[in-house]
Amino acid sequence: MSANRLSSAKRIPARAKLIDAAHLLVRRQGYCATSVDEICAAAGVTKGAFFHHFASKEALGAAAAEQWTARAEELIFTLPPWVRIEDPLERLLAHIDFRLFMIDGAPEDFTCFVGTMVQESFASSEVLRSASDASISAYCERLAVDIEAAIALYGIRDGVSAISLAYHVQAVLQGAFIIAKARNALKEARESVLHLKRYIKMLFNRVDTQ
């Protein structure tokens, strides 16, 4: 398995390897603590190759945020079998179940690259802030499509808007990641996602999802 990874890794372009390494290291130790040297070492790429692809660590951070969006589109909105559930509310609840299922193992493996990066860089780098915003907002706008369809079918309490609920889903996930990191345990983080699921069920108030 690790031999397979090594041999297949040779076929991955340097740019993609550098972005993968940025995702890995920033999720584990944050953006500032991650140096270009470390990223190059983790990617198995020379510093010359790094600067061939990226003008700076900041430029890599922005590209890695863009790739994070593409990764979420694939892993969360395209590949899982439940994305083909026809009922939009069932699909939304399956989405929440999937996010709950992902909270497992070490925090660096399930937490959010852009949420971690923007936490420390929002005031110091407009490039990283806006790249992080674009990624988080793309997720929310994508999720809001399903929420909107569920609202059209079942109605929703208090005139809650789809996009507002989608940002709330993101907020709960980002916050649950911080709680998991602080606690060095998953119980409270996972329960927070269950609170979110209960809230969504109550908002839609459909008898058979209670």
Give the footprint of a copy of itself on this chain (CB under 8 A): 28-33, 106-108, 114-116, 118-124, 129-130, 132-133, 136-137, 157-158, 160, 164-165, 167-168, 170-176, 178-179, 181-184, 188-189, 191-192, 195, 198-199, 202-203
Closer Cβ to a copy of itself, 14 or 76, answer by number? 76
Q: Is 8 exposed, middle or buried (0-12, 13-18, 19+ CB in 10 A)?
A: exposed
User: At closest approach, how far in Å is the CB of 154 from a copy of itself?
Assistant: 16
Q: Shortest gap between Cβ of 175 and a copy of itself (angstroms)? A: 3
Helix (H) or strand (E) holding 47, with range, is: helix 47-53
Residue 209 in contact with residue 150, Cβ under 8 Å? Answer: no
**Smallest distance, a copy of itself to C-beta of residue 46, A:** 25
Q: How far is CA 66 from CA 20, 36, 54, 132, in A?
A: 12, 19, 14, 8
Q: Which residue lies nearer to a copy of itself by CB, 16 or 171?
A: 171
- CA distance to 9, 114, 155, per residue, from 23 (Å): 16, 9, 39
What is the closest distance, in whole angstroms, from the C-beta atom of residue 82 to a copy of itself in the complex? 23
Nearer to a copy of itself, 3 or 123 (CB): 123
Entry field: residues in the chain = 210
The type of residue at 192 is S
Query: What is the smallest separation between the CB atom of 81 and a copy of itself, expressed in angstroms?
Result: 28
The least distance separating a copy of itself from the CB of residue 83, rounded to whole angstroms, comes to 24
From the list 176, 204, 210, 182, the residue with the least C-alpha distance to 102 is 176
Output the six-digit token pair for 83.
């994305």
Q: What are the counts of helices (DSSP H) followed by strands (DSSP E) for the chain?
A: 11, 0
Please tell me whether residue 144 adopts helix, strand or coil conformation: helix
